[in-house]
Amino acid sequence: MPLAITGAVLLVLGAAAVATGLLPWAAVGALAERVLPILAFVTAITVVTELLNASGLFEWIASRFRRWGRGRAMVLWILVACLSLAATVFLSLDTTAVLLTPIVVVLARRCGLPPLPFALTTVWLANTGSLLLPVSNLTNLLALHTLGDVPPAFFAARMALPAVWCALVPVAAVAILFRRELSGRYYTVRLTRIRTDDDAGAPPDPVLLGIGAAVLAALLPALVSGIAVWIPAAAAGAILVVAFAVRHRAALRWALVPWQLVLFAAGLFVVMEALQHVGAREFAAALLGSGSGPLDLVRVSAAGAVGANLVDNLPAYLAFEQAAGSPARIAALLVGVNAGPLVTPWASLATLIWHEQLRRLGVGISWWGYAAAGLVLVPVMIVPAALLASLG
């Protein structure tokens, strides 16, 4: 609810900007044309991932991982890291934070392993692994429009090297920090499915599980096919809604629709657009400079990372987008706002969601320790990644 309240306040402020003439109606129309497909995608992909989770697909994958790990904690952790990265790349960082966090925590506990290295892997990769595809992060979808709505393959080619580096660094960090915990073995006890209150006691429906797997298998290539991403996401959502209406109607709830997030994002878009018309553009231009040399790109990434940790990565991107300008500088900005939010808890919505999941599961975390690790990891990631962005 606080997210919805914040979004409503932002929309009121945006409406006031329009009413007073600070934000022209023409700019509002251009903004709507740009962001409505993005908000449609966010809504559709959230419904898809929630229903995939309700089908038992993610828990089924986790149970296979327990078996494939063959009692070795390191192998199990590597599988979890691969799943977290794949979920982030193809289904967005919020999917990883919302759905995979409780799954991997329960998986670790069922195997008698400490949950913290698994939980940190999900949140770090949710942020740093969101550079490769437009669908991986809302900032990427915004950048795609700025880059001229280039095909996803073009976007991925430019971001591939930074994405690989920013995924490897946190994985290496977890492997080093938790080498003792991950060097042991676990008992291959059976993993029970994580259930909600609505379906407690009910085993997964094999029909819904099969439909979910088929929908996911078809959706992943469609998201990188060049079609506007909201179209395949909406089609996948429609198929799953029909399937659940027939097989498990109780799972279809209005709570599946991320209306709070959509309201917040819509309000944020309007306010940030208004700020561009009252001097924010000039301030950002002075802060980011205008060159495209190696040090200039590092400067852009650093500004994005600092801005994300101060006010959240989405407003940071919106504030700096127009000042970034060229494709190389946009790529460097994405490095900063995507991989940089590892210091403060509010640096990305995914981190806030992740922490709430840990709180519900009774997993404690020191924000001081989290911030200290982030202060080390962020420069190690974004400086080389910003330089690699120029090679795309």
Element holding 365 (H helix, E strand): none
Helix (H, G, I), strand (E, B) or coil at 168: helix
- Angle at the Cα of 124 from the Cα atoms of 204 and 113, rounded to 5 degrees: 60
Torsion of Cα atoms, 343 then 265 then 218 then 244, to 10°: 110
Angle between helices 259-276 and 313-324 (to 10 degrees): 40
User: Distance between terminal CA atoms of the chain?
Assistant: 41
Torsion of CA 119, 159, 212, 260, to 10 degrees: 70
**From first to last of its 392 residues, what are the pLDDT tens digits of the chain?**
577 788 888 889 888 988 888 888 888 888 888 888 888 988 888 899 889 888 988 878 877 888 888 888 899 999 999 999 998 998 888 878 877 888 888 888 888 889 999 999 999 999 999 999 998 998 998 888 788 778 888 899 999 999 999 999 999 999 999 999 898 888 765 544 444 444 444 567 899 999 999 999 998 888 878 788 889 999 999 999 999 999 999 999 988 888 887 888 888 888 888 887 777 777 888 888 888 888 999 999 999 999 999 888 888 888 898 888 888 899 999 999 999 999 998 888 888 878 877 887 788 888 899 999 999 999 999 999 999 987 76
Q: What is the pLDDT of residue 346?
A: 84
Q: What is d(CA 95, CA 93) in angstroms, rounded to the nearest whole number?
A: 5
Q: What does the DSSP assignment read for 240-280?
A: HHHHHHHH-GGG--GGGS-HHHHHHHHHHHHHHHHHHTTTH
**Side-chain half-sphere CA neighbours of 348 within 13 A:** 30
Using alpha carbons, select from 8, 145, 212, 173 the residue that is nearest to residue 81.
173
> So what's the pLDDT on residue 203?
66
Count, residues in the chain: 392
Are the C-beta atoms of 363 and 330 separated by less than 8 Å? no
Give the closest residue to 139 by CA, choosing from 14, 9, 272. Answer: 272
What is the model's pLDDT at position 269?
84
Specify whether the backbone of 149 is left (phi greater than 0), alpha (psi in -120 to 50) or beta.
left
DSSP string, 100-111: IHHHHHHHHHHT
* Tokens found for residue 305: 């990372």
| C-beta of residue 99 within 8 angstroms of C-beta of residue 87 | yes
Contact partners, residue 80, CB within 8 Å, separation at least 6: 65, 104, 107, 118, 121, 122
Tell me the domain boundaries of the chain: 1-71+207-275, 93-184+279-392
Distance (Å) of CA 305 to CA 324, 338, 340, 370, 381: 14, 8, 4, 16, 11
DSSP secondary structure of 331-355: HHHHIIIII---SSTTSSHHHHHHH
Backbone angle region of 289, left / alpha / beta, with phi > 0 → left and psi within -120 to 50 → alpha: left
* Gap between the Cα atoms of 27 and 64, Å rounded: 50
Q: Please report, as a single letter, which amino acid is at residue 377.
A: L
Tell me which amino acid residue 133 is. Answer: L
- CA 39 vs CA 9, 20, 200, 291, 347: distances in Å: 18, 26, 32, 33, 20
How far is it, in rounded angstroms, from Cα 32 to Cα 266? 9
Tell me what pLDDT residue 4 has. Answer: 77
